Structure 1
C-alpha cells in the first residue's frame, strides 16, 4: 500500500512472481551454507595432503629440498639398564669370645670406627683370677727347672771327679804291676790295685748315668714350663677378649646388647660395615649373560646423587640362577664416604660392537613413488635397503640411488654393513619421493659437503 498525501492507494503486485523469487533465494543461500560447511569440515589429513600435492606441483621441474649428512663410522650402542641396591663392601659380625657381663659399650648405630678401636668392656674378674693362677704355676715350674738344672750340674761334677779317680786308679794299677814283676811287692798288693781301678771305673759309669737322669729331669721340667707358659699366654689372650675392639674400619650397622646384659661366647654384639667401597647387587636375564663378564666396567648412577656418575667393575657372577635370573655383583669406589647402604642404583651396560657406518633409519628410502614419510622399518627386506648419495657436478647437485646391506638397529639408527663408505654424503630425509639422478637442494639442516668425517 502506498500513501499519497492523506489518501492511501493500494498497489496489487503479481503475487506468484514474488513467491518464486523468495524460494529461489532461500535455496541458493542454503546451498552456499552447505558448501561452506562441508569445506570447513575437511579432515586435517586431507588438507595436508592437498597442500603437499600443491607444494609438489609447485616444485615440479625444480630441485627437491633434502637434509644431507656425512657418513661416519661409530659404534651402535644399546643401553641396558638394571636396578640394584647399594651394600657395604663387606659386613662383619662382632661377637663375644668370652662369657661375662657387658660393662660398657660406647658406640651406637651409624658411628664410624677405626681398626682396633676399643669400643666396650666385658667384666674380666674371673679371667683375671685365672691368669693369676696360671702365672703362679708358671713361677713354680721355673723353680723346678732351676733345681733340676742344679742337680744335673752336680751330677756332671761327680762324673768329672769319678773320671779323675779312674785315671788315678789305672795309674796305680800299672805301677803296682811293674813292681810285682820286679818282685818289689806281693801279688796281693797288685791285685788290690787292679780292683781299685775297676771300682773307680764303675763309679764313673754310675756318675754318668746319674747325669743322664738329671738331664732328663731338666727336660721334663722345661716341658712343663713351656706348657704352662702357653696356658699363661692363653689366659692373657682370653682376658684381652674382655676388651671389645673393632676388627675393621667401618660404620656400625646394628647394635644388639646393652650394658648390663650377660654375654655368652658367640653372642653378636655389633654388625659393622666396610664402606671404603660399595657393592651393588642386581639380577640379569640368562639371555643377556653372554654379554657380561667378570672385570667388565659398568656405569652406575644413584638416585640419591643424580649429578654423579660412578664407574664400577663386575666382581662376581653367581653361577646359580634363580628362575632364569642370574645375580650379578659390582663394586664402585666410595672415596668421599658419602654412599651408604640401601640406596637405589641404576646400572648401565654399553654394548659396543664393531665400528661401522651408522645412519638414521629415515635415510633408508623405499621404492620409487613411495612416500618419504613411510615407516622406515617397512622399507627393509632381508636386511637390504636403499639410500640416496649426493653427487655434485658443477653447479648442479643430484642424488644417486645406492643399495646397502643393513646390520643392527637401535634407537632409530641402523648399521650399514656395505654400500655406503665413510665420508660420503647421503640424504637423511626429503620432502618428496626421490628418483635416481633427481636434482636436489640442501636444506639449512644439512651438513656442508666439504666437511670431513670426525
Structure 2
C-alpha cells in the first residue's frame, strides 16, 4: 500500500470544522479517530490496478501460476527385496564328554573348576589307589609262581629227553647183541637160551625207549599247562595295572570344564560322574524347520548364522545333519548346523539365528510409488515402467523420465533389473504430476547426495 501524504492532509482539512472559540467538544474528539481510520481504509482500497500488479511482481509476492513442484528424492541402492526368514536356536558344544570313575575309590584330588581348559591326555583327578596297588602286587606274585612252574616243567622235559637218548642207545646195543647171539646160535656156538635172552633184552630196551618218549610228551604237556597259567596270570596282571591306571582320571578330549559333579573326599563307585568336558572348537546349533522348507535344505549346505551376543559378526556354517524323523504334531524337523569357533569366544546357550537362504545377487530396489503412475497399469504385463531421475545443472534441479525393467515385487517394493544404477537419485513422490525436463525443488525429506570426495 502506497501512502499519499498530500491527499491525506486535504482530507484532514475537509473533515476538521472551523471553531471561532476555543471550546473543546468531547463528542467530536471521540469521532475524529474513527473518521480518520475510515478515510485511510478507503484510500488504500482505491489504489490503482497498476500498483497492485506491480506489488505482486515484487520479490516476495506470490504468483501461483509459476510455483515449483516439491519432490521427495531417494538414492538408488542395491539390497535384498525381502528379509529372509531366520530360524531360532541355541548354541551347544560340538560334543560333551562325561568323565566317570571306572573303579571304586575315594577321590583325593580334583584341581579343576568350571571354565578351566583341559588338554587331551591331561590328568584331571586322582583316586586312592592303595587297594589297587595291593591287587597288582598279588597278581604279579602269582605270575612269578606260574613262571617258576614253567621252568620246572621245562627241566623235566630236558631230563626226559636225555633218558630217551640213553634208552635209544641201550636199544641199539641190545639189538646188536641180539643179532650177534642169534648168529652164534645158528652156528651152534651158544645155546638157544642164551640167544633168547639177548632177544628179550632187545625187546625190553625197545619198550623202555617208548616209555621215555611218552614221558617227554607228558612233560611237554605239563610245560604247556604251566605256560597257560603264566599267560592267564599275565592277563590278570595287565588287568590289575589297567584298574590301577583308572585311579587317575584322564581327559579324553581337549575342551573346557562345563560342569563339576563331585568334590575331593567323596567315595566314588564305578560309573559315578566326576566332571563334564565340552568341546567348543566347533559349535552346534539345532533349529526346527518346517516340512515345507525341508526340500530347500541339504547336508553340506552353507548357511548364515547370527548371534545376538555378537551382532556385528556374520558367521558362515554348514548343515551337518538332518533328522530323519519329524515331530508328529508340529511337523518340524530338527536340523543341525555346525559353525567354527576358532577364537573360543562362542559359548553354550547363546541365542542363534540361522538363515538357509542361498546367496543371490542383490539388485536395485525402489518403492513401487516411484514408478510412473500412468504406466502402472501396463507395467505388470510388460515388466517395464517409468521413473524420474533427478539432474542438477546450472543451479537448477530438473527431472528426466527414464524407462526401467522391473523384477520381483514384495512389500510395496520392486526390483530394478536395468535402467537405474546404484547411486543415482530418483523421485519417490511429488506434490503433483511431473513432466520430462520439469524444474523441481527438493523437500526436506529428500536424501542428500553423498560427496564422493
TM-score where L is the length of structure 2: 0.70
Match of 1:304 among 280, 290, 309: 309
Q: 1:283–1:11: structure 2 CA closer, same or farther, 3 Å change rule?
A: closer
Matched residue of 2:222: which SS?
helix
Distance in 2, Cα, partners of 1:123 & 1:324: 52
Structure 1 residue 68: Cα displacement = 11
Which whole-Å deviations, capped at 9, do the CAs of 1:329-351 have from their partners, x for residues lacking one? 21121212222222222223333
Distance in 2, Cα, partners of 1:6 & 1:356: 96
Matched residue of 2:97: which SS?
strand
Match of 2:96 among 74, 91, 94: 91
Structure 1 residue 443: Cα displacement = 12
What's 2:343 paired with? Answer: 336
Which whole-Å deviations, capped at 9, do the CAs of 1:155-193 have from their partners, x for residues lacking one? 111111111112222222222222222222222222222
Matched residue of 1:197: which SS?
helix
Structure 1 residue 289: Cα displacement = 1.6
Which whole-Å deviations, capped at 9, do the CAs of 1:20-65 have from their partners, x for residues lacking one? xx9xx9xxxxxxxxxxxxxxxxxxxxxxxxx999768xxxxxxxxx
Query: Counterparts in 2 of 1:374-389, with a 5 A limit?
Result: 385-388=383-386
The answer to whether structure 1 residue 109 and structure 2 residue 125 are counterparts is no
Q: 1:441–1:162: structure 2 CA closer, same or farther, 3 Å change rule?
A: farther
Matched residue of 2:347: which SS?
coil
Match of 1:228 among 228, 233, 242: 233
Matched residue of 2:86: which SS?
strand
Deviates more, 1:278-287 or 1:291-300: 278-287
Q: 1:94–1:401: structure 2 CA closer, same or farther, 3 Å change rule?
A: closer
Query: Counterparts in 2 of 1:397-436, with a 5 A limit?
Result: 409=410, 412-414=413-415
Match of 2:322 among 310, 317, 320: 317
Which whole-Å deviations, capped at 9, do the CAs of 1:100-134 have from their partners, x for residues lacking one? 21111111111111111112211112212211111
Matched residue of 1:301: which SS?
strand
Structure 1 residue 79: Cα displacement = 2.8
Structure 1 residue runs without a partner (length 5+): 13-17, 26-50, 57-65, 371-375, 391-396, 446-454
Q: 1:9–1:125: structure 2 CA closer, same or farther, 3 Å change rule?
A: closer
Matched residue of 2:293: which SS?
helix
Aligned residues: 384
Match of 1:153 among 147, 152, 158: 158
Which whole-Å deviations, capped at 9, do the CAs of 1:389-427 have from their partners, x for residues lacking one? 99xxxxxx997979x7855757933486xxx7999xx99
The answer to whether structure 1 residue 345 and structure 2 residue 361 are counterparts is no
Structure 1 residue 11: Cα displacement = 11
Q: 1:346–1:220: structure 2 CA closer, same or farther, 3 Å change rule?
A: same
**Alpha-carbon contact 1:362-1:428 (below 8 Å) kept:** no
Distance in 2, Cα, partners of 1:360 & 1:94: 59
Match of 1:202 among 203, 207, 221: 207
Distance in 1, Cα, partners of 2:255 & 2:246: 20
Structure 1 residue 9: Cα displacement = 8.6
TM-score where L is the length of structure 1: 0.70
**Alpha-carbon contact 1:366-1:385 (below 8 Å) kept:** no
**Alpha-carbon contact 1:366-1:379 (below 8 Å) kept:** no
Matched residue of 1:181: which SS?
helix
Structure 1 residue 361: Cα displacement = 5.9
Structure 2 residue runs without a partner (length 5+): 1-15, 29-33, 42-63, 389-398, 447-453
Q: 1:145–1:379: structure 2 CA closer, same or farther, 3 Å change rule?
A: farther
Which whole-Å deviations, capped at 9, do the CAs of 1:189-235 have from their partners, x for residues lacking one? 22222111111111111111111111111111111111111111111
**Alpha-carbon contact 2:257-2:278 (below 8 Å) kept:** yes
Structure 1 residue 360: Cα displacement = 4.3
Structure 1 residue 320: Cα displacement = 2.3
